[in-house]
Structure 1
């Protein structure tokens, strides 16, 4: 009986290039988007909590706060904060896909592919940022219902800030996710960070006249520097009294100096890039 020799098939692993790395980023990003779009129930669930804050909490507290808002509807005031909350919540949950991929074994398949781990994380960050921004865009279409005008400059400015916040929050979520092995642990940590960040940022109340300890926490909360310029942008397009503006939109100050919106946006962007860089470094060192 003659022995048969199996044919040997030559395999060639292509060299890495910026084109292959960009293709990997787009592939991972598209996977995140396809998974999100295919789950309509999840989209609705992610929107329920911001809508409750905006229409239920805002309407319920309006009668109590009418005397202190100088005629400004409370829903109008908290609208920028609710937008930031929706993006923060969605960005963190989008980053959780990294933990789920690790539990299901899909992450191992990604990491043995001939692409850098930085491209994998960049793709997840891009996909998560797009998903988080889309949640903010959906809520932004309801601006007219809470007295916020559909001014083109206002809409473009808010969209830009939402995108910056989405990148930063998703980067923070990935930084946490690269160090977490179980999805339940990630959910607990997310709740530990997101809810305090939202309340401390002044998303639902003015930052003027805060106690010293709360004012200090407000200044070190990254979300503060997204809520404040967005609220300032909204109030710039409202016809309100100086008293209402001073009470509801006093701005963020450092030792008496009012931070300009451009600097606040720069702070948000710098934090996002820093956290993404650390997340990539940590992810590249994991087994």
Structure 2
């Protein structure tokens, strides 16, 4: 019970920090708007996707983008906690380090899910198909995507000692994962070498699963949604294991 209480406390702390910083909530609205209505509108006249308009096609990808960038950014909380002494206090507590990592992971994951959910009303502005059923089916897919991404962010933050170093790693991870995920273009139309590289990217399967739920068909050309979900589950388990190991080495 003490472990569960500790996990809950760390989860609550992360959620309160996110909600109280209004700049993050504002960013949750502004960044997707820029991509959806400026980039999406501009590309709509030069990029064609059979069956849907371009804005509807990239909408699931932008949901994943918001979750990716938020998950990586919030990983920096480990460095903040180390800098201000909070991490030292919880590391010397009776809680196991795996429980500490789990509490932070669940807290940050909740923040990331909030960031993803607030984008959904924009679907009505671009005429995308959206209803209660699609929304509810999207949530478990988003949760699977979130867990793995958050674990990546926390893993690298646990190994880094400075904000500058983490910032470089964050950019190095975010951009390739996003642009190679098929968020902005269908992978079944790209050269073979780019498709092979994209299939190594776990976010590819998250974007494809979410797009399948929202639009109704797979866009990778090779993976049905069952394969997408299986890959995401393996990704989550592997990253949670690696993240727990990395966090256990935190000093």
TM-score (norm 2): 0.94
Q: Aligned to 1:64, which of 46, 71, 75?
A: 46
3-state SS of 2:128 partner: coil
Q: 2:75 aligns with which of 95, 119, 123?
A: 95
Structure 1: stretches of 5+ with no match in the other structure:
1-18, 237-244, 254-258
Counterpart in the other structure of 1:24: 6
The superposition leaves residues 103-162 of structure 1 with CA deviations (integer Å, 9 ceiling, x where unpaired) of 122110110111111111101100111100111100012211122223232111111111
Alignment of 1:48-87 (within 5 A): 48-65=30-47, 68-70=48-50, 72-87=52-67
Which one of 121, 126, 132 corresponds to residue 141 of structure 1?
121
Alignment of 1:64-213 (within 5 A): 64-65=46-47, 68-70=48-50, 72-213=52-193
1:214 alignment counterpart: 194
1:276 equivalent to 2:245? Answer no
Rounded to whole Å, the distance in 2 between the matches of 1:197 and 1:130 is 21
Distance in 2 between residues matched to 1:282 and 1:158, nearest whole Å: 30
Per the alignment, residue 242 of structure 1 pairs with: none
Task: Report deviation, 1:70.
Answer: 4.2
| Alpha-carbon distance between aligned partners in 2 of 1:250 and 1:269, rounded to the nearest angstrom | 20
Q: Partners of 2:101 and 2:233 in 1: how far apart?
A: 17
SS in 1 for 2:159: coil
* CA separation of 1:283 and 1:69: change in aligned 2, threshold 3 A: closer
Kindly report structure 1 stretches of 4+ aligned residues shifted beyond 4 Å: none
- Aligned with 1:208: secondary structure? helix
Paired position in structure 1 for 2:25: 43
User: How many residues are paired up?
Assistant: 251
Cα deviation code 1:234-274 (max 9, x no counterpart) = 222xxxxxxxx7xxx54342xxxxx2212211211221121
Residues 72 and 150 in structure 2, CA contact (< 8 A), matched pair in contact too: yes
Please say if residues 28 and 118 of structure 2, whose CA atoms lie closer than 8 Å, have aligned partners that are also in contact: no
Matches of 1:285 and 1:176, distance apart in 2: 12
Root-mean-square deviation (CA, aligned residues, Å) is 1.5
